[in-house]
Every structure is written in C-alpha cells, then in structure tokens.
Chains A and B, each alone.
Chain A
Amino acid sequence: MSKLIIKRILIMLPLLWLIATLTFFLLRVLPGGPFDAEKNLPPEIIANLKAKYHMDRTLPEQYYIYLQRVVKGDLGISYKYLDRSVNDILASALPVSLTLGIAALFLAIIIGVPLGIVAATKKGTAIDAMCIICSTLGVSLPSFVIGALLIFVFGIWLKLLPVALWESAWHVILPAFTLASGPTAYLARLTRSSVIDALSKDWVRTAQIKGEPYLQTVINHALRNALIPIITVLGPLSAILITGSFVVETIYAIPGMGRFFITAVSNRDYDLVIGTTLIFALLLIIANTIVDILYHILDPRITISD
C-alpha cells in the first residue's frame, strides 16, 4: 500500500505542475484582464497596478515568479480581493464546502445505496418503479430547481428550516439535501443495476440453495460485489462535493469554495483560478488513491500494484 501511495505522490507532482502551467497560460489567452473595470482607470494608475502585481513583466517572467511562489506553498494573491492571499481565501472557504460536501456525501450514500438495493430486490414491482421515478427526477432536475423548491416548501411555506445563510447546524440541512439530490439519484440507479447484476451470479444462487436468508445473501454476497462500481464513482464524486457547488452555495448564500470556480474566472482573478484548480486536482488524486485502496479491501483479488 505504501508503494502505491509513494507512486501516486510521484505522479501527482508533475501532474499538478502540468495543470498549473496549462491553467496559467490559458488564463492569459482569455480576453480581458483583472484591472478592466466599468470605470476605466487612467494609464498611469494601470501602470502602478501592473507593477505591483508583476504584470508589467514578460509572460515567462511572470510564470517563473508564480512557480517560485507555488513551490514554497504560496498560491499567490487575489487581484479582486485586495490584500488577501489565495491561501487565505481557500483556507476560509474550503472548510465550509468540506462540511457541506461531507454532509451531502453522507446523505447520498445512506439514501442512494439502500434505495438502489430495495429497487433491485423488488425488481419489476411498484416499489421498483417508484425508486426509478425518484432517481430519474433526482438526476434530471437541476439543483437550482430543487433548491428553490426546498426553500419555498420548508423555508417560506412551512417555516420549519432556515431559508438560507450559514449560522447553525439547521442551516446545513436544506443545502445538503439539495447538493445530495443528484448524487443520491445516481448512486441509487448504479446500485440497482449492480445489485441486479450480482444477484444473477452463480455464487448468489449457491448461497440461497444452501438456505441462507435472502437479506443476508443480498448484503453479504450481492452488495459486496456490487460495491466496486459504486466505490469507483464515489472517488471523483467526493472531490466534486467537498470542493463545493457554485449553484448551491449561491442560492443558499454559503461562503464556500464552489462559487470561486466561476467568479474567479469572470473576475480574471488569475492566481485564484489556478489555486482552486490545483485544490480540486489534489483532492481528486487523493480520492482516487483511496478508491484504489478500497478496491483491494473489498476484493482481495485486485492487487493494489495494479
């Protein structure tokens, strides 16, 4: 296992460098810059701003300065939020997205997986049809529709839960359900098809002939094998959920990291865009490494050196 982790770290470093480099140059190709504003500033002022942020240097020089910083763990500065470093911004936003993402992931697993198992074991019945309808709705309804619906019903109409904001544990409930809706539905569909597939296998039939109770067979034999594709999906899904969602954070006014994926680009906040991209890439690599380790635990036939 340690070999796998070392190998992943060795691959991760050049990969992160490549991502940072590509993002750095692609951003410079975009029209518009961080100092373009509704009220155009005089050229003397623009010159001062460019000098302050080293943007008066050539592009290779800027790239060199940036790399020097990144190597030291400094992700740069924000051009929009003056005097704030990208490290500061991400350090205050990531824990919020992490909390919300973990809550949503937890909901998606505890609702989606059992729903899929129930649908698979009751295949062709009304319960299965209901599960399919629910999961189809969950996948096809965009989160801004689900969010607005939940706000209206539980926040405005019933007044049971807060409409928005990030003040207490109660404020996590609606956004977590909104964020979890898509992944829950996806996991339910995936679990259903994987369990149906596993239930048709010989070892399941053998276990049942031996007299093992049905529920036990499903959990011990069918589900364990059906978990492989689910775990595969959970890797990137975790990275997506814990880095936040632009839509959910915007409609619930949550100070997370998700909104920076969009606003940093529209503000041409170069270093912040690269910072968010690197964090996302890093979390994706970590999640995939954990998935590889889990493969081995679930199915010892899979060797982690693969």
Chain B
Amino acid sequence: MLKNFCKSTPFLLIGLVLVMTNLANKQTPRFEANTLRINLGCEPPSLDWAKATDAASFDVVSNIMIGLTSYANDLSCRPACAESWQILDHGKHYIFHLRPNIRWSDGKPLTAYDFQYAWRRLLDPKTAAPYAFFLYDIENAFAYNQGKLKDANELGIRAINESTFEVRLSRPIAYFLYLTAFCPTYPQRQDIIERYSNNWTDPGHLVCNGPFILTKWQHEYKIELTANPSYYAAKPSLKTIKMFMIPEQSTAFALYENNQLDFIDNRSLPTSEIDRYRKSGCNEYRDIALLRVSYLGFNIEKKPFDNVKVRRALSLAIDRERVCRILRHGEKPIANLIPPPLLGHSDFSTEQSYNPKLARNLLAQAGYPEGKNFPQTFLLYPHREDTRLLVEVMQDELKRNLNIHVDLLNQEWQVYLQTLRNNTPPIYRYAWGADYPDPDTFMNLFTSHNGNNNTHWSNKTYDQLVSLAGCEANPVKRATLYKQADYLLCKQDVPIIPVNTAAQNMLIKPWVHGIIPNALDLQFFSSVGIGD
C-alpha cells in the first residue's frame, strides 16, 4: 500500500499544482474597476512643477494640473485656465482672461495671483528652477534670474486683478502660447508652499486644479491619483490611476502580460516583443512617431571633419531607411532636423539623402579616394543598449559605402555628457526631444551660443534666420525661414547628420478606452475609461 502511495505521489502533486493553477487563474480579475495601472519607469525626481524637467514628473503633473492653455489632440493650444487671451503690441504683450469657475482641490478659487506667484517663483534664482530659461523672453526675466535685478515687480509678469493675467515680452516670440501649456508654467499656491516648505508636494499638502489629485506617493514604488471632485470640466471616468515605478523593462512587461498593468510604452516594452505583438494581429499594439530626432554630430574643429566635403560625404553614405529597418522600433528616417508634422519640415526622400556614388566622389575630392588614408577616428556614444545597435549600423554603413573605418567608443552616461561638453569627440551620437511642438525647440539648438551645440559650428546666417523665424507671426514666412536654416544646417554645412525620429510603442489592454497618444509623448488620462 505504501509502495502504491509512493508511486502515485508525483501524480497527486501534479494534480494539486493544476488545481491551484486553475484556482489562481480564476481568482485573478483581468482589471480593477475604474482603475488604470501604468508604469512610470522611475521615481519622479520632483512633483514641484517649477523644478521638474523629466518625463516621469511631467506624466504625473500633466494629470493633476492645468495651465493657462492646454494641448488639444493635434497639439494645438486650446483654452484651459484662461478662457480667452489678447495678443497686443505685435506679439509682445499678452493678456489672459481666466475662467471664473476654476477651483483648487481644497476649494479655493484659482486667481491670476497664483500665476503671478508661480511665474515669479520659477524665475527666482533661489528656486534654482532648471527650466526658468523658458521665460527669459519676458521683460527683465533674464536679469532677475541672474540675480542682477532684485525687484520682482519689474518683471513683465503681473496679475491685473483676480481674473486677468498680463505678460510683457522683450521681443515677440511666435511659440509663446505653447509655453503656457508647459508644466513649469502651471499656477502655484503661495500659502501652501510657504506653509509646508520642501514638503508641499506630499499627498495631503499638494493642492491642484487638474482632473486628478495626488493621494498616495510611496517613494520609488507607486503614486496614486484619484479623480478631483473640484475639477471644472467633465469629471474623469477613472476613479484611480496607479502609477508604478518599475525600472526593469522585462518585469513591467511580465506584469502587463499577467494583467497587472493596463498600459505600457517603451519604458516597459522590450524591443524583441514589439514584432511579436505587431504580427499577432491583436489590437493591443499601437505606435506613434515622436518629436524626437536622433542624430550624429561632428566636432568640426577636429580633422578630418573640419572639411565640409567629408561631412557631406558621410551624410550621403547613410541609408537611413535601412537603419530604421534594423532598429525595428517604429523609427522613421529623417534627413532634416525639423521632424514632421512641425512647421517648416521637409519630407524625407531616400533619393536625395542617400547617394553612395556622390558620397565617394566627395570623399575623393577631400583627399580620401576609396577611403584611402582616412585618419583613424571614433564615434562616441552613451552606454545604452538601443544606442549601441544604432551606432553599429552606422559603422557598417560607412564601411560598406565609403570604405572607412570608424571606431566605436562608449562611456557611462554622465561621463559621456561631460566629454561632449569639455572635449567633444570627432563624431558623437545624440538625440533631442521637443519641449513644445514648434520648430524653434530644434532649430535653436544649433545657434552659436546654445549650450547644447557641441559641434563648435557657428554660422551667423543660420543664427539670424532662426532668430527671425522665432519672432515671425506669419506661419508661411516662418516655414520658409526655418526651411532655409534647415538646409544650411543639414545639407550645406552639415555639422550634424539627422538619422531618424523616435517612436513610442505602446500596448493597451482591450478594456482600456480613450488613450490618445501624442507626438510630445505627454500622457493625459482624463478621458480614459475602463470596461469591456
């Protein structure tokens, strides 16, 4: 009898496991009612929107706050706290009229003084707000932020009365309205910040005016938002948003597959799984091209890249379509810096951007026929898996089409950033994402005095074109000016080679409705619903 029992034990164990598995499967609900579960990927460094600069913080702030304006689905500016505005003095003077029915989550009415306080605080050098420079075009803002001007009343920022907010600019800037939809310019409450000091962003202290309120913040783990009953517009159908901070991509992906996350994006979606979902025919996969351009930059002071013919040759030797096919992440090829659909962008054409024969001719004219005697050089890139694949494809393209060998060198992220700024390598890989949906966010990057222009390239005509375009109110004229500048940058002088635009890849569970992705990669959940 004992023998029989011993023999049957493995079968009993297997049976037990199967029963438990079945029970476990039945007990786990697919979704939580009226709750959206997403992954932020990391802890938001700050929920003080005057100091925040990163995507995780903006993902939270964008759902608990609204500014003077907000983005429509097509990324145009629509009224939010301000129901209307006047633009006077050829674009140098803005007057915003606030809605009368907007209240903070503690019931107090929102006033123009909350905007005045927030904008002045953003520019106050004591706040040390990284994004204060976005308001440098406001009268006296630069001097005030530098500490040279002490009186905040001299700033071109003023609450005329409780419902009217006035901004005076030192020069007209065509994209100024976009800044009023940008998180750092959202209103703030002086009494709350002064009462709670550094802890004012804790749940229970933080007051907000958006569709959700912050109810829980377990650091490095989870943030919970709940619907704001005081929100002025249509109440969100979600009751709760759980934002986890799962750093490991494969863990977040396993949680999605186990129905413990409802929506994931690049932060949680391994490249190897994208193809599987794409080909599976299910409706969970979506992607969108982002306003983020990946490019190779040259240090034009280092040989042989001080020769414009060499730079042009390298640009023409890269088959960007092949690069995107290999990357398999939904990237789109680009040969100009302004990505579509922004004003002034140029449509991509392989015929115009990829010409190995012409590239070899240019290289020969520069003194390196068939790549002979081309000096030893290297391409620096940050230590990241997705970047490594891209630069390896570049290396291959240059070898294949120009017979030149470029060494690849990687560095840890912070070391890489310092090397770029202090001793720019001959070639480096970089990417730039838009802060607002306007070509200025890209084109300003390569003006002579921009701190992010690591190429050492300086061109007065380019500076002038970008400056003129920034102030130009007529969209047709603006587009022409940007196209001229873009041609100068990417076709004539070529201090950089734009390669591709990035894409956001998403998986959305079938019970999640109303997620509308946008090219700025801002996530708004006020119109999202959960249910079969």
Q: Which residues of A line the B interface, CB within 8 A?
A: 30-33, 36-45, 47-49, 51-52, 80-84, 89, 92-93, 148, 151, 155-156, 158-160, 162-166, 250-255, 259, 266-268
Contacts and interface: CB of A to CB of B under 8 A. Distances in A.
B145 interface: yes
B255 A163 contact: yes
Interface residues of B, number: 56
5 contacts: A36-B421, A49-B130, A83-B51, A83-B201, A253-B251
A156 B258 contact: yes
B128 A51 contact: yes
A32 B418 contact: yes
Interface stretch (B216-224, B400-408, B499-507, B521-529): B216-224
A259 B246 CA distance: 12
B24 interface: yes
Residue in B48, B257, B418 whose Cβ sees the most chain A Cβ within 10 Å: B418
A245 to B, nearest CB: 13
B258 A41 contact: no
Contacts of B127: 48
B24 A159 contact: yes
Contact of B45 (A47, A80, A255): A80
A93 B220 contact: yes
B260 A163 contact: yes
B46 interface: yes
Given A32-B417, A266-B412, A155 B145 contact: no
A249 to B, nearest CB: 9
B126 interface: yes
Contacts, number: 147
A89 B46 CA distance: 13
B418 A31 contact: yes
A164 B45 contact: no
B254 interface: yes
Contact of B251 (A33, A40, A44, A163): A163
Contacts of B221: 166, 253-255
A166 B222 CA distance: 10
Given A49-B128, A52-B126, A81-B43, A158 B220 contact: no
Contacts of B51: 82-83
A166 B244 CA distance: 11
Given A40-B452, A44-B133, A158-B24, A82 B45 contact: yes
A37 B54 CA distance: 10
A271 to B, nearest CB: 15
Interface string B9-51: 0000000010011001100100000000000000101101001
Nearest to A80: B45
B198 interface: yes
A165 B255 contact: yes
Contacts of A48: 125-129, 132, 145, 147
A42 B260 contact: no
A42 B245 contact: no
A252 B255 CA distance: 10
Contacts of A93: 219-220
A53 to B, nearest CB: 8
A270 to B, nearest CB: 12
A125 to B, nearest CB: 20
Given A48-B145, A51-B125, A158-B17, A31 B48 contact: no
Given A37-B53, A266-B414, A268-B414, A45 B130 contact: yes
B248 A253 contact: yes
Interface in B454-483: none
B297 to A, nearest CB: 13
Given A41-B130, A44-B142, A92 B48 contact: no
Given A37-B53, A51-B128, A253 B133 contact: no
Given A32-B418, A44-B146, 5 more contacts: A36-B417, A45-B133, A51-B128, A159-B28, A259-B247
A79 to B, nearest CB: 9
A156 B258 CA distance: 7
A139 B251 CA distance: 23
Interface in B215-262: 218-221, 244-248, 250-252, 254-255, 257-258, 260
B254 A155 contact: yes
A92 B219 contact: yes
B281 interface: no
Contacts of A43: 451
B219 A255 contact: yes
**Nearest 7 A-B pairs (CB), nearest first?**
A32-B414, A255-B221, A255-B220, A82-B46, A52-B128, A83-B198, A253-B246
B413 interface: yes
Contacts of B418: 31-33, 36
A5 B147 CA distance: 53
Contacts of A30: 414-415
